[in-house]
Structures are given as C-alpha cells and as structure tokens.
Chain A
Amino acid sequence: MTNLVTTAQETELAAPVAEFCNAGVDALLVKFGDEIDACMPSYLASIRERVLNQLADVVNEVVPAYASLLVYYEPRNVRVYDLQLALQGIIDEVPWLCSPWSAEDANAPGKLVTVPVCYDPTMAPDLERVLQHTGLTAEELIAAHSGQQLQVYALGFAPGFAYLGSLPDALKVPRLDAPRTHVPAGSVGIAERQSAVYPQDSPGGWNIIGRSPVQWFDPKRTPMTAVQVGDRIQFKAITLSEYQAYAEQGAQ
C-alpha cells in the first residue's frame, strides 16, 4: 500500500499532456510526448477502452502506438473541436498510475505471456553478426534476451506484430542495411532496443536471432493475437528438439 501512495505522488508531476493534431478528414492524432515510456502502454490501453465505450457513436477505431492514439472518427457526426473536448474529458478521468513493476508484482499491468524461443544457429541467420557487433557470447545474448520481462508497446506493421521493449543496452543493434525479402513466420528479431516475433512470412529488416513455435496471429482464434498492448512478455530458451515438439503440438 505504501508503495502505491509514493508512486502516485512521484508521478503526478510526470502525467503526460495530450496534444491534438489533425491527421486527415477523419482522423485525429492524440500525442503524449515523444519518449518511449514504460508506463505509457497500460495508460493508453485504458484511455482507448474508454473512448471506444463512451464515444461509440462518433469514433470508429483507435490505434495505439508508443506515445499516441490515432482516433478515426465520423466527421459527419461530430465537429473536430467537440471531439477534442470529449477526448480531453476522458483523458482527465484516467489516472496516470505509473509504477515501475517488478516480475513478482501481482499488480503489474497486463498479462504475462511466456514465449519459447529456439536460439539454435540454424534458425538464427543473424546470430553470428549480432554476437560480433555486441561482443557477447551466445550464452550471454540468450541470457540478456530472455532474462527480463518486455512490454508490448504497440501492434502494427503486420497483423499481430508486437513491438516489444526495452532490451538491455548490451543488445542494441541497428536494423539491417537492406531488409530481407523473406523472413519466415515465428522468426524472433531485434533492432535498436526492441524485439518482435514475425507473425507471418513477410519481408523484414530486423536481426533474426531465433525462432518461436508460438502462433502469433490467427484470424479464426479468439483473441486473434498472442498479446495485447500493455501485456508483458518473457522469452524462454528452448532446444531444437523442444522447438520441434512444440511445433508438432501446435499443428495438431
């Protein structure tokens, strides 16, 4: 309890200010600063839910990203100024409950999803180069990549593609100079201090350091995506034979 009170006091000053910006005839971008902030995903998820519930007659979609919400609205039902007022009203209702959660914290935001990853070199075409770039050994890289919880900051780029952050500094690598035209589904990539699992075969410019047997997106499943914005992820290293066992299980 004491902890909660302190955090509320500490973060009151840091509550982000919403900035409204036109994004075409039927979209309004609500920006909350220019920084990647670990407290943002769950904050944005709460605002998004309220906007969809309370403004259902004028708002069609709300697309969250790192520090923004893109609000698609029906311009024939609302003036943009009135929409801004309504959105500001909702934003004011949502508390900025930022607590730097730990792995044991039962109150940590979102659900925790464990994602098995096989870091076998046969499934990691960029592993060697990443090791050279970072100066880590394979064991150190795996420990760094799977040794902490990551947050889902946004879903985008492709259905179910989750932007996960933030990786430790030691794992920071640039994107590929030229994106690959084909990255197999399940490939686990890193770029800058982000990580992601490619949900489908697609082009891609991230460094591939492993593969996961988890199906990341399935339009016939509820929910369709393995994770939502605000959820947390912990990667877990598995062997090649464990990967094959998982993959067979999934195929059944």
Chain B
Amino acid sequence: MSGEAPLVSFTGVTRFYGEGGGLVRALAGVDLTINRGEFIAIMGPSGSGKSTAMNIIGCLDRPSSGSFTLLGVEVNHLSQDQRALLRRNFVGFVFQGFNLLNRTTAIENVELPLIYRGMGRRERRERAREALHRVGLQGREHHTPGELSGGQQQRVAIARAIVTDPLLLLADEPTGNLDSQRSLEIMELIARLNEERGITVVMVTHEPGMAGFAHRIIRFVDGRIASDEQRAAA
C-alpha cells in the first residue's frame, strides 16, 4: 500500500460486452485518477458507462484493455478470488436496491463481511453493533430488513459497507429508492463518513441534488468522460 500511488487509476480503459455484431462498447478509453479522501459523484445518462466504471473500480469487473490499478496494484490479471480479497479488504458497496439478505437480521447482515474475514464471533458482534450505531440504527440490531423502512435498510447497507473500515465506499444510486427526506439523511451520513473518517466515496447518481454533496463531479457520455469538475467543498 504505497502512499505515493493514487487510490484508483484508469489508463486508456475500455470495456466491451458481447461479440461480433452484438458487440457493445461500455467504456471507450477512460483515463481517471482518484485520490484518497475524495468524494466523487459520477453522473451521466443510462448506458453512458458509469456503472461499468463503478464495477471496475469495485474489482467486480475487469477492463477489456487498458490498465486499472487499485492502490498501485494492477487488477486486470487478478483471479476472481484475488479480486474478492481486494474487495473484502478495501472496498465497501452500497447498492440502489440495498441488497441485504432478507432472512437475516440487521446485525447479521452487517457481520457478513467480517465472517468472510474469519473474525471471531465476539469481536464481530462488537464491530457490527458499533457500525449500526454509527449509522443511527441502535436498537434495530435484531430487526430483519422486512421490518425496516427503506431509509433504515440503506443505513444497514452502509453499516455493512463500512464495518470493515474500507478505504473506498462505492455507492450505486444509494438514494434511488428513497424519498427526498430519507435521501438527504443518507447523503448527510455518507458525507459525514467521508469527512470524519476520510473514507473515499465514489457515488453514481443522476440526481443533481445528491451530486451536490460531492467535491468532484464526473460526467460520462458514450463511454467517455465528458466533464470532470472540481467543486469547492460545501
């Protein structure tokens, strides 16, 4: 983990899906650098490649060509398991649809990444409780997702993403399923995590109001970066 290397670096990254006539170009040569501590919003119409870029940053996907490094590590040639280890140790995901395990309680959902790290039960419970506390869900530990509101479910998902103390929090339309009041609360929570804990946040959104929380807004059009705008910190 060299201090010099940027957290994320794209150099001429392309990504194609399908073959022959059905070939779809999702990314058409993207250069991008993300440093630690940034709060970035990625915007763009659907099909512009922003989700593909997120998946690559999250080590869920690999570029078809070009170079993508996370913490200076070239990810292109890593196996699925090696990428899983990167995700496990450095990346937290928050999805639009929350993606919680419906049959397990809030605290069990939050514990899940720690189980895969092989952490002992007691320490796991402790850290999961602390993470839920941090997102304002104390007292809801033993509710299942079905017993929680959308905003609360997204808080559980955020707790699950930050319970491992990741460097990078990836949020794919985190407020897409929430009303405006809950959306603001979630955005404030994410901004606070960025500010207070120094977690780098990369968020895909198409709501300008939500993007307003970020310090840097990157717009994708047709698989390329159309604009990359630094904003004064609010």
Is the A/B pair a real complex?
A: no
